[in-house]
Amino acid sequence: MIEVKNLVKRYGNHIAVDNLSFTVNKGQILGFLGPNGAGKTTTMNIITGYLSATEGTVTVNGLDVFEEPEEVKRMIGYLPEFPPLYPDMTVLEYLNFVADIKKVKKSEKKSMISEIMELTKIAPMSGRLIKHLSKGYKQRVGLAQALMGYPELIILDEPTVGLDPKQIIEIRELIKEFSKNHTVILSSHIMQEVSAVCDSVLIIDKGKKILSDKPENLSMHFGATGSVRLTVKGERDKIIGALSSIERVKSINEQEGFETGTVTVTVSCDENDDIREDVFYALSREGTPILEMRPLRMSLEDIFLKVTQDDEAVPDAGSASDIDEASDLEASSDSSLDNAEGKGEE
Amino acid sequence: MLAIYKKELRSYFTSMIGYVFIAFFLVIIGVYFYFQNLYTGYANFEYTVTNVTFIFVLLIPLLTMRLMAEENKQKTDQLLLTSPVTPTAIVLGKFLAVFTIFGVVMAIICTYPLIMKQYGNVPLAPAYASIFGFTILGGAYLSMGFFLSSLTESQVVAAVVSFIVFLFTALMDGIAGFFPADNKTAYVVFSVILVIICIILYIMMRNLTISICAGLVGELGLTAAYLLKPTLFDGLIVKVFGWVSVIDRFNNFYMGILDLAGIIYYISIIFLFLFLTVQVIRKKRWS
């Protein structure tokens, strides 16, 4: 469907996109992930024909963006970072205008506009001036604009920025719905978003591709740490003693507990090992009940942070068994806790 | 193109600018019409038209300032440029919209000579020739204002720069008169203008080598011409300034002459600046 080959974009001496190549197949949702200034927006602008590339090619359905821009633009719906809205128009006027410039047939126009307004839930706002809408509604009108004409390829630059959590979930549902018949590329710097919606993830940093894979594979490859976090009720020495008696345990790291009379520890073993059963039996023999046990896996967010912070591209998850790293991990996986729950709900 | 035309036209009437422009224009022409024709009893409507050419300098920037500058500012140019519309269609749609608003005023003015005709003998040919000339002169100004608006993101900058440029074109004749007509002065003046052009070039392109090269080549050409054929520079300032002076050409129309050279001149200006605007929009992709 879309093929990007050796894309380079230079601004003077600054390289915004550096030799980027990827392909997206029909019906796929590609998540574009990277910190701010990684070159996500630039790449999207190039694909949509808003900017030119210094080197490289972009083809959509076999048509080159640089050679046949009009044809390619017909196949693309684009929601830029700042939704391109005319504040002095009403929502309906705006969508009418968009339908016209996207060359939607007159006979289909009216039904398409009302359909899209239903989809994006902006129908009640159709008579309002865009400048009076809230940020969330503006974003939805922008999304409606991108969907107009039902283009084969929909490109969304940070589509859920400025929306409240409920709206975010709605928009994600909408994007998933659309991917049944359309190809979607969306960018984000929020990991959970990408893992919730996308079939494949492309992480870029400083204009370079760092890795691309399916979101579930990412956490499988880099996710296992072999560590378990425990909250156990009982005396500290007894518990630590019991845990140290397990042979496969490599390190025990105590954390501050929240409840009185309990001990919170992180127990590490080899990366591919599973010590949960042993831990259970060891502690039950001592008569110290386990209140909580949770295997520590690197969330996508951790992978993302790791991958984009390291200058060496390939991350080494094995090093997570290190005590220092383990506690770092701890801190960041706490923040991703909520995300994990969010994922569960969907 | 039609979609952009309609959108642009509508936006002039939702933002008041359209009404203000038409009303203000009609008031000024009305005042002149009253004093020149109705009060003093002259039957020549072309006098009125000639006297009000100065309002272009004031009013056209009001109309053209937002044309592209606002799109650039609101980032809506991204919508236009990623839609299947060519830059040419965008520019033509916008220009026709702004010209339509101006055309409304012209259409209303066209009835004035007819009103006078009810009460006596009115030379209609020069009246309508001058209105026609006035219309394409306005078109030339609109096109220039449009171009200047496409260069910036700020409506205020667009308006102020347009105002200065228009003022300059209007006063060009007078300015040319200040310079001595000898060839040495002409040489110096053109060298200075060349330097100014190179500075503008540098500001626009941020490329020192290109602007310096352009300056050197131009200066070399000027010097060569001056050394080889100094008579070429005699009275050249007046000639060139007169050539750039947009309003100067209008005099023929005012005398009732449908001056073909003038018509071609104005229409060329319209197309030249529309073409330049298209190029500015195209260039954005390559920035």
**Cβ count near B234 (within 10 Å):** 13
- Could you read off the pLDDT of B146-204 as tens digits, one per residue? 999 998 889 999 999 999 989 888 887 777 777 777 778 888 888 888 898 888 878 77
Total beta-carbon pairs less than 8 A apart between chain A and chain B = 68
Residue A244 and residue A189 share a domain: no
Residue A261 and residue A183 share a domain: no
Which CATH number characterizes residue A37's domain?
3.40.50.300
Residue B191 and residue B158 share a domain: no
The two tokens of residue A56 are 């490289």
Distances (CA, A) of A331 to A95, A232, B142: 46, 19, 62
Residue A260 and residue A151 share a domain: no
Query: Which one-letter amino acid corresponds to residue A78?
Result: Y
Find the domain containing B187 and state its range: 182-234
Q: Does A145 touch chain B (CB under 8 A)?
A: yes
Residue contact B80–A101, C-beta within 8 A: yes
Q: Does B82 touch chain A (CB under 8 A)?
A: yes
Residue B198 and residue B118 share a domain: no
Contact B67, B161 (CB under 8 A): no
pLDDT at B80: 92
Contact A97, A106 (CB under 8 A): no
Residue A124 and residue A44 share a domain: yes
- Residue B240 included in any domain: no
Q: Which of A186, A213, A240 is the last residue of a domain?
A: A213
Consecutive sets of 10 residues in chain A, 346 residues long: mean pLDDT of each? 88 85 88 83 90 88 87 91 91 93 91 91 90 88 91 89 82 84 85 80 84 73 69 85 83 78 82 79 86 75 67 42 38 39 38
Residue contact B82–A52, C-beta within 8 A: no
Q: Which burial class, exposed, middle or buried, applies to A105 when counting CB atoms under 10 A from its CB (0-12, 13-18, 19+)?
A: exposed
pLDDT at B32: 92
- Nearest chain A residue to B5, by CA: A97
Residue A172 and residue A119 share a domain: yes
Residue B167 and residue B71 share a domain: yes
Alpha-carbon distance of B18 to B11, in angstroms, equals 8
The two tokens of residue A87 are 């504040």
Contact A194, A215 (CB under 8 A): yes
**Cβ count near A340 (within 10 Å):** 15
Residue B187 and residue B168 share a domain: no
Which run of H or E residues covers position A97? helix A91-101
pLDDT at A295: 77
pLDDT at B183: 78
Distances (CA, A) of B53 to A73, A96, A181, B50, B115: 43, 38, 59, 6, 22
Residue contact A89–B15, C-beta within 8 A: no
Show the CA angle centred on residue A321, arms to residues A319 and A327, nearest 5°: 105
Pick among A98, A101, A106, A113 to test the B interface (most B CBs inside 10 A): A101
CB contact set of B45 (below 8 Å; sequence gap of 6+):
B33, B37, B112, B113, B116, B122, B126, B127, B130, B131
A185 contacts in chain B (CB < 8 Å): none
Residue B103 and residue B200 share a domain: no
Counting the structural domains of chain B, the total is 2
> Would you place residue B24 in the very low, low, confident or very high pLDDT band (cuts 50, 70, 90)?
very high
Residue A167 and residue A79 share a domain: yes
Which CATH number characterizes residue A284's domain?
3.30.70.1340
- Could you read off the pLDDT of B231-281 as tens digits, one per residue? 777 777 777 777 777 777 787 777 777 788 889 999 999 999 999 999 999
Find the domain containing A235 and state its range: 220-345
Q: Which burial class, exposed, middle or buried, applies to B200 when counting CB atoms under 10 A from its CB (0-12, 13-18, 19+)?
A: exposed
B34-40 mean pLDDT: 88
A95 contacts in chain B (CB < 8 Å): none
Show the CA angle centred on residue A261, arms to residues A259 and A263, nearest 5°: 75
Residue A174 and residue A136 share a domain: yes
Residue contact B80–A88, C-beta within 8 A: no
Residue B41 and residue B131 share a domain: yes
Q: Which burial class, exposed, middle or buried, applies to A56 when counting CB atoms under 10 A from its CB (0-12, 13-18, 19+)?
A: middle
Counting the structural domains of chain A, the total is 2
φ/ψ region of B158 (left if φ > 0, alpha if ψ in -120 to 50, else beta) reads alpha
Distances (CA, A) of B219 to A291, B191, B192: 87, 7, 10
Residue B107 and residue B81 share a domain: yes
Residue B120 and residue B69 share a domain: yes
Residue B58 and residue B128 share a domain: yes
The distance from CA B85 to its chain's CA centroid, rounded to whole angstroms, is: 26
Q: Does B3 touch chain A (CB under 8 A)?
A: yes
Q: Which burial class, exposed, middle or buried, applies to A311 when counting CB atoms under 10 A from its CB (0-12, 13-18, 19+)?
A: exposed
- Could you read off the pLDDT of B205-226 as tens digits, one per residue? 677 788 888 888 988 988 888 8
Q: Which of A164, A188, A213 is the last residue of a domain?
A: A213
Q: Which of A213, A231, A260 is the last residue of a domain?
A: A213
pLDDT at A220: 62
